[in-house]
Structure 1
Amino acid sequence: MKSGVLADHQIRAMIAEGGIAASSPILNDQVQPASLDLRLGDTAYRVRASFLAGKDRTVTDRLDELTMHRITLTGGAVLEKGCVYVVPLMERLSLPQGMTAAASAKSSTGRLDLMTRVITDHGVEFDRVPEGYDGPLYAEICPQSFSVVAQPGQLLNQIIFRQGQTFLSDAELAAVHAETPVVNGEPVISEGLGFSVDLKPRTGDLVGYRAKRHTGVVDLANLNHYDPAEYWEEVRTTEGRIILDPGAFYILVSREAICIPPDYAAEMAPYLAMVGEFRVHYAGFFDPGFGWDGAGGAGSRGVLEVRCHEAPFVLEHGQIVGRLVYEHMSERPTALYGRDIKSNYQGQGLKLSKHFRSPAS
């Protein structure tokens, strides 16, 4: 197999061969152009604290030590803000040598400030599965801004599979941009493609949203349902800058429109910590075709999920806040994001998760 991120048809081959198995048959629409959506099982364990299993232990071992109580998700159950839960996933892996996997929250999960990470038996990192891993997968879930109602089978995490070396060097990325622009304007390439925040919209003064501190629950099954005004405060500025409040969660948008050509995938990564004490993302994978088709050739802007840490921080228009690390695909997918599959965020601008109705203009 050629080095790179596995494409949809290669993931389906893994399913057919037993490298990916599940307690319930894997559904066709779980397979994305370069990733697989993972489903919640029917039980959640409320635990005292976040944890990694450690190289000599299993997740079950740690649950025996740390579980406070067990919750059945069948029919829907509330996962409370500020609490930590571990949910066994329906899928399990049996990876060959030379292949690793990496997980991330799905876009809508990140936009809800629903911190969710995949952990494994003998794991020493969140969201990373080592080569040769043979075992179950678990989601650690910690709602940060809103309590949520979750049910079995819901899709909060996604996983990609990497065969060998996948990442592009800066020189390779520059060559790709020269042939097929990956961003509008001049690229900032340094260990990936840098992107900045847009605080000077073309029209109006709305630049983002800040999560309210005291809200109702969000039922993850309800799409296009909730009034944004009940959960979010609008962030407006005419000055091209805002002050981030410590502990607050923001939805902002990148200034750049980004394209992921069909033979590549990308992962959003944090920028250097020296630029400010804030985190700029929770959801990280960009499928082949993002911004490529269905966006008028102009690309799609990246939504930024921002949390400020210890001190208030002034964020300026055009400030670089993150980077996209591009990866080779092992093969071109049979379906592309935005053209061949349903894509909620193709051609997006500033946009909340799909659970909220479009804000009144």
Structure 2
Amino acid sequence: MGTRRQQDYGFFGPESVTWKVWSYPTSIVLGFLRAVVIEELDPHLVASVDQSGQVKQRPKLRYDRTMQYFATVKFGDAESVLRASDTLMKIHSRAIGHDPVTGGTYDANDPASQLWIHLTAWHSILYTYEVFGPGKLTPDEETRYWEECARAAEFQTIDPADVPRDRDGIRAYFAAYRPRLVGSEVAQDMMDFLLDANTIVLPERMPAPLRLVFNAVARRAVIATMPRWMRKLGATGQSGFTDHVAIALTRPVVRAVAASKHVQLWALKLASPRTVPVIEPLLRGIEPVNPVVREPAEARAQYGVVDPRTQYAEILAARAVEAGPAPYPFHHREELVAFPA
């Protein structure tokens, strides 16, 4: 079967900084692992993850599906992005429950929680690109990157106005959010679990010695990008010497992979098979049927998809009268809902 052509460039396109940064090999493992590990410090999020049980039940599938979703938003055509966003809204609409650490209630679609996940991902992908890849963006590119980050927020319940537009704003956001973070026993356990690339990413058919080396280096490379206070909360400390060695070993490997589109596609097939149909047209230089970048409002009108913030308001209104989607049971067996490719 040949590579499927996209209908259009979606909401970013080849001239975007998003394509430049998110298509670099650092995003596949290092950036993704950094993001999901750090996210667990939010007590509401880790309560949702722990009570769902899905991450530990089927870690490789969860990684594969999450990568597929992120790739679809950045590289998929407009209809695929909107359908994937709509699917995720429906999945998250049942992810509500009690957070035993704070005594509050978690809601996977809550805009504040979604913003934490969104910014952690965009910052982690950029930061690993800088550390292990080509280095820092130009000031103009970085401005465009955070503007595009705000555009991507439109496919979640986030108000794009809440997305910082520069590095100082991102630092201020994390500083303000820091008091909410908790290095609970559950968070530390989940962070340790997610730092195991052998469990999360690597295919079982990879030779054991290679898996062992890859996992040891990748774990330490991800930790090397985390600030000291965050490592302390997550009980993921390591020495500065280990940081330098991990970065020195990882950087040339990443850059070698980046030099070959064929190697990138091979690595992607091993790590996230569901993501391949989304990324392959980009790696092979296959233009979409209609090579244009779309506007979210115009695309929603064409495909009849309601924006996430409106959907969320409707969900909250239904809950207010004790209606709406029922919460997932504890450690449920999640249905395999596929995102549109």
Q: Which bracket does the TM-score occupy, shorter chain normalised?
A: under 0.3
More strand by share: 1
Higher relative contact order (CA 8 A, sep 6+): 2
More helix by share: 2
